[in-house]
Amino acid sequence: MSILKGFGIETGMGRFYEEGVYSLVLLYNKLTAKITQYLKPFELSPGKFNILMIVKHQGGREGISQVEVSKRLLVTPANMTKLITKLEADQMISRQVSQEDRRFNVVKITDKGSRLLDQIWPGYDAILRDFYQVNSHADQKKMAEMLIHWAVKVA
């Protein structure tokens, strides 16, 4: 029985778009569950972790606007504010009004947040690697190229 049959999708019917999209959703849900479980002892959700990653790696020393973080994560401004407020309360990030445009907040990672990401990264990376390694190296590369191509086309 096909894993997609539970969604009412009959494979081999020429509806490859449906098979592909639902397969991606299933994989995303499985991966998110693994990552959520891994991050739980660190008191982080995948959303908080992703915010910290963007603030650290995209914002650098100068920081990044809260609006820009929201755009990169496709999160509503209200939800973004809630997550950033929690991260700020946990002293993982700092938030200041922009000197150039007082309508925007600039978010910066703290030393505590940066150290936590450094601690989390090896295990997080291992989860991604293990999840992907069910495929041969050649298939991993081909799949990555195809998914990047697809993401660029629909962006």
- State the angle between helix axes of 46-54 and 66-73 in degrees (0 to 180), rounded to the nearest 10: 120
Q: Which CATH architecture has domain 44-122?
A: Orthogonal Bundle (1.10)
pLDDT of residue 32: 94
pLDDT of residue 105: 86
- Distance, in Å, from the CA atom of 41 to the CA atom of 21, rounded to the nearest integer, reads 32
- Tens of pLDDT, residue by residue over 115-131, are 999 999 999 999 999 99
Residue 105: strand pairing partners: 97
On whether the CB atoms of residues 46 and 35 are closer than 8 A, the answer is yes
Return the amino acid letter for 12: G
- Distance, in Å, from the CA atom of 155 to the CA atom of 150, rounded to the nearest integer, reads 9
With 0-12 CB in 10 A as exposed, 13-18 as middle and 19+ as buried, what is 56?
A: buried
Q: Map out the domains of the chain as residue ranges.
A: 1-42, 44-122
* Residue 56: both structure tokens together: 């650290």
Angle at 106 between CA 100 and CA 110, to 5 degrees: 140
How far apart, in Å, do the first and last CA atoms of the chain sit?
A: 34
- Tens of pLDDT, residue by residue over 20-71, are 888 899 899 999 999 999 999 999 999 999 999 999 999 988 899 988 898 8
On whether the CB atoms of residues 51 and 69 are closer than 8 A, the answer is yes
Percent of the chain residues past pLDDT 90, beyond the cut: 63
